[in-house]
Structure 1
């Protein structure tokens, strides 16, 4: 390697830390309707981070036709360790299907332990019950 190549390499490394941000798919969600066995499309989902005694909204979106949001966390920032909450607006989803539901929304609180830790939160949903877990 000559001096010019070495300088170019060193100068490019100087900007690498600024390039770190949450990779695509750092936080994904998926909703499956247990009653039908089908994905739940067009469900509004809100992502918040705990800030002291309150919550700061970071992002929101709607599930696609496969019941997924493949990348909910904003890609322009790092997902830092802390307590987060994903709220699934399930009441609105069931109302559009002209069905009642016991849960108007389902908040799922979780802890991020490493910066940009890849996380997946699946929700198995019915009108009167749900389950969730840490997916991969």
Structure 2
């Protein structure tokens, strides 16, 4: 019984100090085609003094989404983060030129494990983004 209780407490403690799945999600829609941008590499970094600490890299799925970019093994603490959408290869793979080989989005996290969504509306020569839900 002691082992079972200790295991349950350990599991509860770990989950209390980990970011829930889906803490940070992203979505890319190609404005020119109206279709999701699949296969785009997206990187996540956190500002650490004067440099950036790399946290994760993933690729958008067939729907242009990454449902959970922040690693669930840690907590998404308040601070300044950067999501970099590596769109140059996406355009190249689709035989399109682009002015922007990557789109960095720098944002503030104000609460631990705050649920955040960053959509990117993309075209060859422009983009827009906002804080989604």
Would the TM-score normalized by the shorter structure come out above 0.5? yes
Distance apart, 1:102 and its partner CA: 0.3
Partner of 1:19: 15
Partner of 1:88: 85
User: TM-score scaled to structure 2, two decimals?
Assistant: 0.91
Query: Over alpha carbons, which structure has the higher Rg?
Result: 1
Moved over 6 A (4+): none
Partner of 2:107: 110
Distance in 1 of aligned mates of 2:15 and 2:45: 24
Partner of 1:33: 30
Distance in 1 of aligned mates of 2:110 and 2:122: 27
User: TM-score scaled to structure 1, two decimals?
Assistant: 0.89
Structure 1 gap segments, 5+ residues each: none
Aligned residues: 130
What is the SS of the residue equivalent to 1:32?
strand
Distance in 1 of aligned mates of 2:45 and 2:23: 15
Distance in 1 of aligned mates of 2:112 and 2:91: 35
Distance change in 2, residues 1:39/1:15 (3 Å): closer
Structure 2 gap segments, 5+ residues each: none
Instruction: State how 1:1-136 maps to structure 2 within 5 Å.
Output: 16-20=12-16, 21-136=18-133
CA RMSD of aligned residues (A): 1.8
What is the SS of the residue equivalent to 1:120?
strand
What is the SS of the residue equivalent to 2:13?
helix
Distance in 2 of aligned mates of 1:123 and 1:55: 22
